[in-house]
Amino acid sequence: MVNVAAVNVLSGIGPATWSAPQAMAFEIAQEGVRQAIGFYAHLIGTEQSAAEPDAAAIAGWRAEQEAWAARGRELTPLDVRAIKRIRKEADDLLIIDDEDDDDENEDEEDEASDGEDDDVADDDADDGETLGRP
């Protein structure tokens, strides 16, 4: 039996050897890893619910999940190159090409040309008052 009071595993650790910005970059990279794993989980779930799931695609996505998880486990706050690489690769994987942004830009151009804000209904605005202020 081990005397728990006599064993202090934290006493030998000492202070951290990385800076606050390094710690923040590390946490952001870890979040990228988690997001990538979730991205593949979504693909797997969608494919599994298909009428005829593609087993090869599912196996490939699971392998990608495992690879991302391994990268997250191996990452340290001091490995600046790996942190930058993971952040870039996660950003590239997770980028969303949202065509709705184009429509929003067109709305803003229309507003600029006609001088009216189409997003705010006439009933929502108080005459002469700024919205959200008395």
pLDDT digits (tens, 9 = 90+) for 61-110: 999 999 999 999 999 999 999 999 999 999 999 997 666 555 555 555 55
Task: Evaluate whether residue 22 is within a structural domain.
Answer: no
Domain count, the chain: 1
Say if 134 falls within a structural domain: no
Q: Which residue type does 64 have?
A: E
Domain ranges, residue 56: 35-94
Q: Which of 40-44, 50-54, 80-84, 102-106 has the lowest mean pLDDT?
A: 102-106
Residue-averaged pLDDT of the chain: 79
In a domain, 125, yes or no: no
pLDDT at 114: 53
119 lies in a domain? no
* Percent of the chain clearing pLDDT 90 (strictly above): 57
Q: Six-digit token pair at 125? A: 């605005």
Angle between helices 80-94 and 20-48 (to 10 degrees): 40
In this prediction, residue 120 carries a pLDDT of 45
